[in-house]
Amino acid sequence: MAVVYFPEFRLGKVLATSFTATLSERCGEALERIPVPSRLVDWLAVNGLAVDSCTQSQLDHARELRESIHAAATAVANQDPLPSSAVQVINDCSTRGLASAILTAEGSREWRLSSASVEDALSVIAADAISLLAGEREGKISLCASPTCRAAFFDTSRGCTRRWCDMNTCGNREKKARFLANKRKTSSLAG
Ligand SMILES: [Zn+2]
């Protein structure tokens, strides 16, 4: 049997923007990191939102929520009005599922999905997005400086000066490009 490799996940500390990062390089060669329903199941499990199953239409719905969060976050970062269709999708997802916050004996927070369905999981992601978009949390929604990425991320650094959605990918690529450009300049001066 052929082994199929799927793109790895980019996981951050913020649920809503980790979710929007399942599609990367939106302004370049877009990479879909949840190409099949089973990969959404995997992603949800990694993020403490284990579900029993996922159909293609649930995956489509999840992607619709994802792009709505991305659109709304981009609007907030650009200080534009929120797109009403995105707000509608986020609110629908938030109200459609049911989940409860659970305090564990170790003192951390977990989510209990009422029916372990994709809808329950999406309601948690939508609620997380709402708290970000409503400006309830300490930090700022920014867009990645990489022109092929432009991912929305939540900057919690002091002074909110972060430029990249992810230092290990976009940040590093920019650093490498700058390094090579400098090297070329130096060698052309020497030659
Ligand atoms: Zn980026």
Q: What is the DSSP string of 84-124?
A: HHHHHHHHHHHHHS-EEEEE-TTS-EEEEESS--HHHHHHH
Q: Ligand 1 centre from 170 Cα, in Å?
A: 5
Q: Ligand 1 centre from 179 Cα, in Å?
A: 18
Q: Which residues contact 42 (CB under 8 A, 6 or more apart)?
A: 9
Domains, the chain: 15-190 (1.10.3300.10)
Give the model's pLDDT for residue 179.
Answer: 79
Q: Ligand 1 centre from 16 Cα, in Å?
A: 15
Give the model's pLDDT for residue 63.
Answer: 98
Per-residue pLDDT of the chain (191 residues; tens, 9 = 90+): 677 789 999 888 999 999 999 999 999 999 999 999 999 999 999 999 999 999 999 999 999 999 999 999 999 999 999 999 999 999 999 999 999 999 999 999 999 999 999 999 999 999 999 999 999 999 999 999 999 999 999 999 999 999 999 888 898 887 888 778 888 877 776 65
Q: What's phi and psi for 153, nearest 5 deg?
A: -140, 165
Q: Ligand 1 centre from 58 Cα, in Å?
A: 27
Give the model's pLDDT for residue 98.
Answer: 97
